[in-house]
Amino acid sequence: MARWHQIVAAIILVACIACIGYFSYKYSQQNQVLKHGHYGVIIDAGGTGSRLYVYEYRSEDDIRNIFSKKCEKQGLTQYSNITELRPLLIQCLHDAEAEIPKDIIKSTPLFMKATAGMRKLKLQDGTKYKNVWSEVRKILSDGNFPVSTVGTIPGKDEATYSWTTVNKVFPSKESNGIIEIGSTSLQIAFAPASGTNLPAAYSSEVDINGGNYKIYATSYLCLGKEEFMRRYYAELVRDANYSTTVDNPCGNKGYELNLTEQYLWEKQPCISGAFANSFLGQSIPSDPSSGKLYTMKGSGDYTQCQNNVQKLFDIKKCNQTSCGMFDVFQPQIHGKFIAIGGAAYYASKFLNLPNDFNLTTFQQHLKALCESNVQQVEQREGFGKYSFTYCLSNSLTNHVLQNVVQVDTTIPGNFMFTNKKTSWTLGSIIKDKDQLSAALYETVRGMSEKSYIILMVIMGVFLVVVIAYFVVSCKKRDVYDPV
């Protein structure tokens, strides 16, 4: 046998022995592997509907929204008979159970947190507010999830949760401030410059992305899109001496909107009463002659529209060291900002803004929209049932950008509208992570038993062949090289 054949056979023999040792070592290794993370179920009881989310918290950098569903499409405040909610919520909970491992359903906490719609209801009708929550708690307690938190969250918490969500979804070296325009309230939150002294009423601490942030957070009830527009229309009617035909400079030319006195004034704390007077600076009284129908006739006067919007904010003066709107404390703006929420995104999208817009560009596009007539608005890409309200709702955004969040929009990336759906519920889950169900780990070998057996058989075959080869070679040498 040629000497090089012997060398190759020896190498194969050593390699087989080494592989057997390595595979045996891998098979003996036992590792703890995450089978599933911590689970939590949260229902966002918003002003226009309630949506359920199921989250799986696997790690700080791996939080998954594995399921979401709209449970009801009116909002808790709109049910005259709150028991109508039972089948809707129960079905939602059943659907959520299907997304969670069966063995941890009874240890997965359920949160139901309401926002500005319920904060407003508490001002409107305290008795109904209590009855709604009483019935909701009964419904949820009949499900399989242990009920953790059920109630209305303060506006500051809502702003904090939204800030947390945005900075988890859009992480950056410097944190992002947020402007969130909902249907009933408007939230502002950001991390002020280092060393800024924040009153406790506006201060929140957030641990996220490996850092600890002390942020400013506040919420303006009545400055969400729907409530702001209601107040704007009530002011127009009052200024027109309660005439049934009212000029609407923020309405497109040729567009008419009919509003009942009931819509404008009946149990509306954002329009009249103690809250409107104390927080917004004035209570707008209704017409003593009840039952009127008011027609808002659009005139498309951009300049007058902006003046009318500004007028709503000029009533109550700032008595703090610095303010955002009305008499609400706000430190100096710091960092980049992202506008979130459908009221901001869809309205601004209708303006056909370029990606790198600044405040001047925003105002130019807003002016073009406000001065368009009905036919021109209908011909715009993306026209829908809310399009005739976008001049007014974008005018609210314009006021916030120009007078409240005075970020330098000429610097690229300093301000943007996001088209990515975000929910404050993610921020809430991060805050409540210690209450979530336990994660499950399983012991996994470094190599599966099946793979180990197959490899051992293969290595065994190689060993047998190599050893047999050496035996045969030795016998041949004995035959041809006798002593």
pLDDT digits (tens, 9 = 90+) for 397-454: 999 988 898 887 777 778 888 877 889 999 999 999 999 998 775 666 666 778 768 8
| Catalytic status, residue 158 | yes
Q: What is the pLDDT of residue 483?
A: 46
pLDDT digits (tens, 9 = 90+) for 119-167: 999 999 999 999 999 999 999 999 999 999 999 999 999 999 999 999 9
Among 246-255, 299-308, 353-362, the least confident range: 353-362
Whose structure tokens read 């567009």?
A: 255
Q: Catalytic residue, from 135, 158, 180, 227: name it.
A: 158
Q: What is the pLDDT of residue 276?
A: 94
pLDDT digits (tens, 9 = 90+) for 239-259: 999 999 999 999 999 999 999
Paired sense of beta strands 293-298 and 211-221, if any: unpaired
Rg (CA), the chain: 33
Write down the mean pLDDT value for the chain: 89
Compute the average pLDDT of residues 357-363: 88
Q: Where in the chain are the domains? A: 2-35+447-479, 225-417
From the CB of residue 110, how many other CB atoms can be counted at a distance below 10 Å? Answer: 21
Q: What is the distance between the alpha carbons of residues 99 and 25, in angstroms, rounded to a whole number?
A: 38
Using the predicted structure, report yes or no on whether residue 23 has a pLDDT greater than 80. no
Half-sphere exposure of 352 (CA within 13 A, CB side): 11
Contact 118, 76 (CB under 8 A): yes
Give the class (CATH, top level) of 225-417.
alpha beta
pTM, entire model? 0.85
Compute the average pLDDT of residues 185-191: 97
Highest mean pLDDT among 224-238, 328-342, 419-433, 439-453: 224-238
Q: What is the distance between the alpha carbons of residues 200 and 408, in angstroms, rounded to a whole number?
A: 28
Q: What is the pLDDT of residue 225?
A: 93
Q: Would you give the distance in Å from CA 166 to the centre of its chain?
A: 7
